[in-house]
Amino acid sequence: MIRHFFETKIYYKDVDKMGITYYSRYLEFFEQARTELFSSIGLKVSNIEDLGIYLPVITCYCDYKISTKFEDKIIIQSEISKIPKARLKIDYSLKKKNSKKVSVSGYTIHAFMKENGKSTRAPNSILKILKNNLTE
């Protein structure tokens, strides 16, 4: 299991007229969380892209359980639990800081794509790093 915790905060830009975080904003938080997860195991997304490999989202799912509000501190746990073949799944669980209850949970599934837009298999250099970190 590769697991990472990313902390951020809800700002005005995120909050809608109900006074709660607008639903699409969580996908941005998920993106920040997975970028930092990759970074934490030495896989900077910029570097992956320098190899001509992109990781577009092909599926995303989100369950909104408890709303978050302006100036709430939040922590997003992101997790990879399986070696990807053609598809990489990342799970997310977002909580308010100092809360044990999950506010929002979800996942994204990513393809590996070449610069020309064609899908490809995960490059060995990436697989190796994922494997090493999964079995630790």
For 20, the 3-state DSSP assignment is coil
Q: Which is nearer to its own copies, 1 or 46 (CB)?
A: 46
Question: Contact residues for its own copies (CB under 8 A)?
Answer: 9, 11-13, 15-20, 22-25, 27-28, 31-32, 35, 39, 44-46, 54, 56-65, 67, 70-71, 108, 117
Task: Write down the least CB distance from residue 61 to its own copies, Å.
Answer: 5
> CB 42 → its own copies: shortest distance, Å?
14
**Closer CB to its own copies, residue 24 or residue 135?**
24
Report the SS3 class of residue 65. Answer: coil
Closer residue to its own copies (CB): 9 or 131: 9
Written as six digits, the tokens of 52 are 């001509």
Q: Nearer to its own copies by C-beta: 60 or 75? A: 60
Q: How many residues does the chain have?
A: 136
CA angle 36, 103, 134 (to 5 degrees): 40
Closest to 121 measured CA to CA, from 90, 96, 85, 81: 85
